[in-house]
Amino acid sequence: MGFIEDGAGGGSAATFGQTQAYRDIMAYLAEPASSEPDFSKFDFSKYGDVKDEEPVSLFGKSDLKVFHDRFNEQYNRFKDTKGDGVFRVYAHGNKTLIWDDNRFIRSAKDFDDVMSIKNPRWLEVDKMKSPMLFLYSCLSAVGNEHGESIGRKISIKHPNVTVVAFDGYVDYSPSLRGMGRVNKDPHLADRKGYMVVYKNGKVMYSKLYKDL
């Protein structure tokens, strides 16, 4: 299954769980019991006339319809979140990588290359105030023996970005509202995967998804 880099829990995790960033992450996850994300606290005017941080799909033509349907649902939900600095990427993944319809994305540079085409606003991410990236792909927080997950790699390249990744299998079941499950077993809706939050390559928070 993999592991949680740097270990789970600890003092830093407890502290992060009390921060506004953590509360924002919980809102953006939009689980069944949560309310709509509140964007009123963001100052959109400082960005001027810019493109939205619209959700990005890396699913391909050969993928099952359910993946495209869930993405379209999420896209319609978040397509008008102009200037909020929150990026959402929906993709397939495995240990150390994610992939689009054409290639494996194994490094932060690979990710930047793809995102610069899918959403050019990503090119400005290092200049944004408190940007976030949600990697809704399986095992995006699971790395090799050196702890090199794709989530960590992106976090190192972009130290200003809070990267939310998952040690587990992201559930795209059509019955869910939002992205409400991450499972340890890909065949069970057990919600025993982990949400892992990175900042500057370090794990700031890690918690069992069912306990969020």
pLDDT at 183 over 50: yes
Among 44-58, 108-122, 156-170, 188-202, which stretch is predicted with the lowest mean pLDDT?
Answer: 44-58
3-state SS of 146-169?
CCCCHHHHHHHHCCCCEEEEEECE
Give the percent of the chain with pLDDT over 70.
77
Distance CA 191, CA 141 (A): 15
Q: Given this model, what pLDDT does residue 4 score?
A: 32
pTM, two decimal places: 0.79
Q: Given this model, what pLDDT does residue 52 score?
A: 63
Greatest mean pLDDT among 25-34, 94-103, 149-158, 186-195? 149-158
